[in-house]
Structure 1
Amino acid sequence: MQFLAWVALLLFFVDTVAAGNGLTLSKQSRDTLAVPQWLYLATGGATIGASALLASFVTDRAFIQDLHSWSQTLPTVERGWDSLAWIGRSLGVAALVLSIFLGFTGPQLPTASLTILLTFAGVRAGLPIATYFVGNVWPALNPWQTIASILPSGFREYPHALQRWPAVGGLLVLVLVEVIFPVSAVPSILAMAILIYSTITIAGALLFGPESWFDNADPLSVLFRLYGAVAPIQRENGTLQVKLPGSDLRNADLVTDVSDVAFIIALIWELTYSGFITTSAGATTIETLVGITSLGIVNVETRAILVYTLLFVCGYAVFLGAYWYAGRLSRRRSGTYITARTIAFQFSPPLLAIAAGYHFAHYAGLFVSLSPALMMALTSPLSPPANPLILSPPSWFEGLGIASVLIGHLFAIWAAHAVAYDLFSSRLVAVRSQYPFIAVMIGYTVISLWIISLPGAIPPYLS
């Protein structure tokens, strides 16, 4: 329902949104590589391969179990916890109302608009970073869940067959909206998108019940829950546990359906796609495809939107297909009785560490740049400064992005190694089962590092 509603909206307004692009805030300039590109990419791929090789020498199951099971309980704060939760929910609702109101009535300058700054510097960049570094606080902030929880709900049972597919569709459509609509440039359009999203989300939560909807159908809730599995701080049985980062990625209950795998791959692909189309190579690719594809459409902007959409959908299909093929190849190489579907389920959570590394590489600079402007807008939402302070990230931030991609892959490889030893009784089979997934990870690494190395550009036809 959510996916179809967004698609209908996208198609209805397709002729009116070709005037802007929603990625202008997220693009940072890049310096030219000091080393040959082939050497840079080969080094990144070789790093992942060598790490996987080294991990394969760790065959002591007790050591792997102890490492991933280590935890330290933090002091519990029972008194005042409910009050803090309600403060967070109240702030979330206030932020939602202000974002919609100021998007329509406030300044239309992107860097002075609380609506744009809170959405992109806050929810798009800063909050996911806090989630995979500290833990998932979204349930305590989610304004739609707060609103739905105080209204009558649960009129129908959520269809079990849908699983998390509405969240997958919602995430993919949200990314397309960010690309095609000028949501990061025109506050009023972003406010309209937030209003429509709020209507769909609250209606779904009231119809099926808040718990069912936000566990399965809401893309933001599923996104933060999965990113939270990467964090070193986890809430278990009413206590806060400090663990090694990524320890929970071996949790067999994290992925229980094909839709969960599809969502995780969508996280990786949307960051890859968003990064690619804002590079010179991406701009050239779009211009070439629009030039050679007539499709019987005279309007070049409409043609460009179709090209952006087809490139997005086809690329996602390739990423998802490559992962599922790795699952079948892993079963074939290991000769196990375990199905390829089960193998794919178990090896998909480690990919969340890769997604976290990609996200940090793409959005850490944006968060640092816009943080002062966001603070100014938050302290004075009704009359923000006309010329807010925008920081320029230092040159070493580029190296930080590269490091985050590699570190994310290293965590993913180690988590996959632990998963293999949980899944297979034979040490040799456990090692051999990882090879196809390591190949996929190396491919993801090389693609991401290549995108980071490219000069930036504004996506054509949409700006």
Structure 2
Amino acid sequence: MQRLGIGAIFLALTAGAAWAHAADQGFVLLLPTDVYIAAGGITVALTVALLAVLPAGVARALFRPAMLTRRPASPRHATSLLVTAILLWLIWRGLAASRDPMANPMTLSVWVVFWIALVSLQGIFGDLWRSLNPWTGAAALVRRMTGWRAPLRYPRALGHWPGVGGFLAFAGFLLADPAPADPARLAAAVGGYWALTMGAVLLFGAPWLVRAEGITLLMRSYARMGVFGRARGRLAVGLPGWRILAAPVPSLGLAVLMLALLASGSFDGLNETFLWIGLLGHNPLEFPGRSAVIWPNLLGLMAANAALVAVLAGFLWMGDRLAGGHVPLRVLLCRYAPTMLPISLAYHISHYLTSFLMDGQYVLAWLADTLGAGHVHVSAGFLATPGTVRAIWMTQAGVVVAGHVIAILLAHAIAVRTGRGTWRATLSQAPLAVFMIGYTVLGLWLLAAPRGA
């Protein structure tokens, strides 16, 4: 174990500048993470116990939003066109500029600004994507200039399933492609996807974006977690997740996509651990490179998604039967899948926090260099002291635990809303509570586990 810790510290302190995940694992191994993990699981368990003795309407009342002013009109198409122009410029720079991921704006914009920062902000504040979507403005411009009308009707039978496939393809590229941070490779993938989606929007109209485009569905799902949103035509603010209770029950395809956000994020944390690399038969301290684990990672990603859906479905079924219900399994999955969004968002924020603190400096350095604002020194010094790493890890752990607590409150509120009293609602949620406590422990372990990739 001592050799393992020394090796992890060596990796953390000698890692080069590259788009990667947290580099603080060496010091995390020296923290009493077992105590913190146990405390996180106990906190979630106490939340369940508290809900069992509180009045039935408490959980739902916590998510009642406060009404603010009428929501002002926003120039959505103008901002969308601006984002589209920036995206096309980034694609050009990705193909023509430096192949250094930390110096090319294509890589920095996609993996740091969009995937880490914007996705997190979308889940914290609300639907920012509505104004930034890079297809809506272009489609509106084509309609205005040519009078174009979509010639095809989107097949309702497809539901949201094309979006599920699109998101899994994105996750596969992120986790299994040999070089997802290579600017030219990334530019080709992003440019091709933008063009294909634009063609589908012109053929099927706006329904393609809200039903079949994986990134838009991802962002719309996380928007349900935002503290700001619309309610009865007004801008409203509430506890994170209040829009989950206000929104209609999703279709089965959309529910599966919401679960895929959690499963894919969890596998993102697992696939670089010593455990996973060891299971694949490789020495974690002599990782052979991503090209050696393409198919294992793709199969692992698919298995993680299938396993989460199956396990959650089993716990929901047990809970419903335990409370004397006979709700169809499909209905249970659709009803409770949105309650997993706080967990997946919390893990997304926690998992990428250290990467953002490190790679975000490269974004600032590129901006300063481009604008002639001077030199920004990029430093990993904050990862060289146990105190700073402890503060980072405690923040990550706190976010994960908070996400699980919100998820339990939402699930309880939904159970009560279906007509069950406090006792029957708590009884029906008992297996789900066991699942969430276990997932809390798993999420915190993934944050603390040593990495070899």
Q: TM-score, normalised by structure 1?
A: 0.84
In the TM superposition, residue 128 of structure 1 has moved relative to its aligned partner by: 1.3
8 Å contact kept, 1:330–1:434:
yes
Alpha-carbon separation, structure 1, partners of 2:425 and 2:434: 15
Say what the alpha-carbon RMSD is for the aligned residues.
2.7
Distance 1:153 1:179, change over 3 A: farther
8 Å contact kept, 2:222–2:345:
yes
Provide Cα deviations, 1:402-453, integer angstroms capped at 9, x if missing partner: 1111010011111111111101333322111111211221222121111111
Which one of 318, 324, 334 corresponds to residue 323 of structure 2? 334
Indicate the residue corresponding to 1:344 in structure 2: 333
In the TM superposition, residue 88 of structure 1 has moved relative to its aligned partner by: 2.0
8 Å contact kept, 1:102–1:382:
no
Alpha-carbon separation, structure 2, partners of 1:86 and 1:452: 39
Indicate the residue corresponding to 1:219 in structure 2: 214
In the TM superposition, residue 139 of structure 1 has moved relative to its aligned partner by: 1.7
Partner AA of 1:43 in structure 2? A
Indicate the residue corresponding to 1:45 in structure 2: 41
Alpha-carbon separation, structure 1, partners of 2:300 and 2:59: 41
8 Å contact kept, 2:154–2:208:
yes
Provide Cα deviations, 1:342-362, integer angstroms capped at 9, x if missing partner: 222222211100011101101
In the TM superposition, residue 382 of structure 1 has moved relative to its aligned partner by: 9.8
Indicate the residue corresponding to 2:195 in structure 1: 199
Partner AA of 1:344 in structure 2? L
- The within-5 A match list for 1:8-407 is 24-30=19-25, 31-34=27-30, 38-61=34-57, 63-74=58-69, 76-78=71-73, 81-82=74-75, 85-151=76-142, 152-209=148-205, 211-251=206-246, 253=248, 255-287=249-281, 304-378=293-367, 389=378, 393=382, 394-395=388-389, 396-407=391-402
In the TM superposition, residue 44 of structure 1 has moved relative to its aligned partner by: 2.5
Provide Cα deviations, 1:320-370, integer angstroms capped at 9, x if missing partner: 100111221122111124333222222221110001110110122222222
Alpha-carbon separation, structure 1, partners of 2:380 and 2:31: 28
Alpha-carbon separation, structure 1, partners of 2:425 and 2:298: 39
Indicate the residue corresponding to 1:16 in structure 2: none
In the TM superposition, residue 401 of structure 1 has moved relative to its aligned partner by: 0.8
In the TM superposition, residue 32 of structure 1 has moved relative to its aligned partner by: 3.4
Provide Cα deviations, 1:140-184, integer angstroms capped at 9, x if missing partner: 111122222333342211111211111111111111111232444
Identity %: 24
1:431 aligns with 2:420: no
- Greater shift in the superposed pair: 141-150 or 226-235: 141-150
Alpha-carbon separation, structure 2, partners of 1:400 and 1:300: 30
Provide Cα deviations, 1:167-208, integer angstroms capped at 9, x if missing partner: 111111111111232444310000011012112211221121
In the TM superposition, residue 386 of structure 1 has moved relative to its aligned partner by: 10
Provide Cα deviations, 1:37-71, integer angstroms capped at 9, x if missing partner: 5544333222211211112222242x444332231
In the TM superposition, residue 267 of structure 1 has moved relative to its aligned partner by: 0.5
5+ residue gaps in structure 1?
A: 1-22, 291-298, 459-463
In the TM superposition, residue 391 of structure 1 has moved relative to its aligned partner by: 5.3
Alpha-carbon separation, structure 1, partners of 2:433 and 2:196: 39
5+ residue gaps in structure 2?
A: 1-17, 143-147, 383-387
8 Å contact kept, 1:276–1:282:
yes
Indicate the residue corresponding to 1:418 in structure 2: 413
Alpha-carbon separation, structure 2, partners of 1:90 and 1:301: 36
Distance 1:444 1:55, change over 3 A: same
8 Å contact kept, 1:112–1:386:
no
Alpha-carbon separation, structure 2, partners of 1:140 and 1:26: 29
Partner AA of 1:365 in structure 2? T
Distance 1:448 1:300, change over 3 A: closer
Partner AA of 1:404 in structure 2? V
Which one of 426, 435, 438 corresponds to residue 443 of structure 1? 438
Alpha-carbon separation, structure 2, partners of 1:64 and 1:41: 25
- Greater shift in the superposed pair: 261-270 or 334-343: 334-343
Alpha-carbon separation, structure 2, partners of 1:185 and 1:257: 34
Report the secondary structure of 1:109's partner residue: coil
- What is the number of equivalent residue pairs in this alignment? 421
Provide Cα deviations, 1:112-163, integer angstroms capped at 9, x if missing partner: 1100000011110000111121111112111122222333342211111211
Partner AA of 1:331 in structure 2? D
